[in-house]
Every structure is written in structure tokens, then in C-alpha cells.
Amino acid sequence: MNYETLKVAIDEDRVGSITLNRPAARNAMNTRMMEELRDCFADYYVNPDAAACLVLTGEGAGFCSGADLKERKGMSDAVWRRQHAVVEQMMRALMDCPVPIIAAVNGAAYAGGMELALGCDFIYAAQSARFALTEVTLGIMPGAAGTQNLPRAVGVRRAKEIILSGAPFTAEQALAWGMVNKVCTDADLMREVRDVARRIAANAPVSVRQAKKAIDKATELDRMSGYAFEIEAYNRTVVTEDRQEGIDAFNAKRKPKYKGR
């Protein structure tokens, strides 16, 4: 697909990159970008074998500054609600994407930009990265799953402090609070993200996708219901060619060649 506001590519290791491409606007999300992100993630839902791991990042010196407030100036309530319906579709498509998604936060991730990162499976951040959910300072509140994903990452009390104050915080603080998995130097961020993305992409695709589904249920179901879901997901891997290839490769002391089936 051709995009106006995104750069999308897949390398030879089946690692896909999705780059927010409005650097002059600090990669703020206008309606067109919201629509394209929705369609991009939905396409991987329909075609999960197109890539084995995805990296979401921003062009230039920033990740995403949130919704484009210049576009929203003078926007009527009706138009605002229609735009937010696109945001809701975008976030559902992101969180439903079966392919693992790593957020590579290379600068400011504010408001909807931080929520976009939180919707990914995990986050690596550059030392220069800064985060904030600033919505309450603008007369609204997080509406891209921020009140749901942030407490799951940092706990309810820390999430309340971040959301209700609207105050920015550093990558190191995000790491200490459990929101970010790793802080990298600015120069090393993309190399380190791609290293872990390639490691994920080298594993059996069906196994990775089923494991991701089961992990997501851990905070949504009681333990025994979650375990029942895990077993159903596990059984889906037993019948694959990749399961037998993994055993054969281990015993032959060679690298497995997974086919995603």
C-alpha cells in the first residue's frame, strides 16, 4: 500500500518498519495519519504472514507529539467525534494486530503519541525520549486506551499521577516505572530494536502469534481462565510443521527453517 504520512518497509529478515512521517509537525497525527495507521495495522491482521515482527518509530528527532492540534482548531463537536472514531479504530487495529510490535521511541512521545507507544507490545526508548499524557491540560482526557494500558504498565497509583498531572517524564523514569523495557543511546536505538526484532522474527511465527495472544489475556482473565486460553493457543502450535521442524533442528544441531505453518 502507498501512504502519505507513513513509510512502511519489510526487510529480508521479515522485520517490518512503520515510520510516522510528518517530521515538520513533530509527527503529529492528523486525520490522514490516523486512517493510514488504522489501515496499516488492519492489513497485518488480514495478512499476518507479511512480516514476523514490526517496529513503530518516528521520522526525524521525535516519535509522535499526539494529535495535530492545528487541524483540530475550530473543529466542531461532530467532526471531532468522527475523527475520534477513527482513533478508536486505529487503536483497536493496533492492539488486535497478531504480529508483535515494538515501539522505538526516538524523541518526544506526548499525548496520543505516548498512547500509541503504550499500545505496542513493548517499548525501547532513546535517552532523549520524553513522555507525557497532557490531555487534562487541554480540557480532555486520554482517549486512545491510555487509561487502560498505562495502569497495566506502571500500576494504578503511578498512572493516576502521570495522567492527572499531565507532567512530562524522562526515558529513565519510564524505565524505572516499568513502562519502557530498555533505554538506549540515541545512536544505538534502532540497532538495538532491530536486534531484538530479528530475534523475534527468527522464531516460529505461529508460536509467536499464539504466545502473544495468551500473554494479552493475563491481565484480562482470572488465572485459571487465562490458563485455559493458553492451552487452546498452545494446541494450535502442536499441529504445525514448524513444531516438528523445531524438534528436528534441535536434534540435528542446526538452525531451524520456519515456514509459518
Q: Which of 135, 230, 241, 245 is catalytic?
A: 135
Q: Which of 35, 36, 115, 230 is catalytic?
A: 115
Distance of CA 154 to CAs 9, 83, 113, 140, 197, Å?
32, 29, 17, 22, 24
Active site residue 135: yes
d(CA 192, CA 23): 22
Active site residue 245: no
How buried is 86 (Cβ within 10 angstroms: 0-12 exposed, 13-18 middle, 19+ buried)? Answer: middle
DSSP lists the bridge partners of residue 29 as 67
How buried is 249 (Cβ within 10 angstroms: 0-12 exposed, 13-18 middle, 19+ buried)? Answer: middle
C-alpha cell at 187: 545512536
- What percent of the residues of the chain are helix, what percent strand, and what percent coil, each to the nearest 5? 55, 15, 30
Contact 90, 42 (CB under 8 A): no
Helix axes 241-252, 205-216, angle to 10 degrees: 110
d(CA 18, CA 3): 11
Residues identified as active-site: 115, 135
